[in-house]
Amino acid sequence: MPYVDGFVLPVPKKKLKDYERIAKIAGKVWKEHGAIDYHECVADDVKPGKSTSFPQSVKLKKGEVVVFSWITYKSRKQRDAIIKKVMKDKRLADMMNDPKKMPFDAKRMFWGGFKTFIDL
């Protein structure tokens, strides 16, 4: 079953086009290095909860929107190999090494790797 990396991050609405531009580059890089697929989704129906929620998870500020992304791989082993290649890819290295070039606050982003246990 596939292995999945998931990401949640806040993006200022006024910088959403900038984020979309770099996400398209990132998606191309990930797929060229072997990812099965790459998805970027912008919040449409996410409300603050009483205990927790997507907006609360990233400390969403006025004028921002939550982005939820995921990338799938054949396995954890394949994902680990792909990540090493992606992190060295010159198309992304400059941006990743300089937080000022990111159109969002990377300190409020969170991510993780997940084993698929149901795949219908």
Distance from the Cα of residue 10 to its chain's centroid: 10
Instruction: Select the CATH number that applies to the domain covering 3-115 from these four: 3.40.50.1100, 3.30.70.100, 3.30.70.2740, 1.25.40.10.
Output: 3.30.70.100
Tell me how far apart the alpha carbons of residues 33 and 57 are, in angstroms, rounded to a whole number: 30
Output the pLDDT for position 35. Answer: 98
| Residues of the chain where predicted confidence (pLDDT) is lower than 50 | none
pLDDT score of 20: 96
pTM beyond cutoff 0.95:
no
How far is the C-alpha of 6 from the C-alpha of 62, rounded, in Å?
24
Q: In the prediction, which pLDDT does 15 show?
A: 96
How high is the pLDDT of residue 101? 75
Cα 38 to the chain's mean position, in Å?
9
At 87, list the tokens: 């992190």
Task: Report the distance separating Cα 69 and Cα 55, nearest Å.
Answer: 15
pLDDT at 98: 73
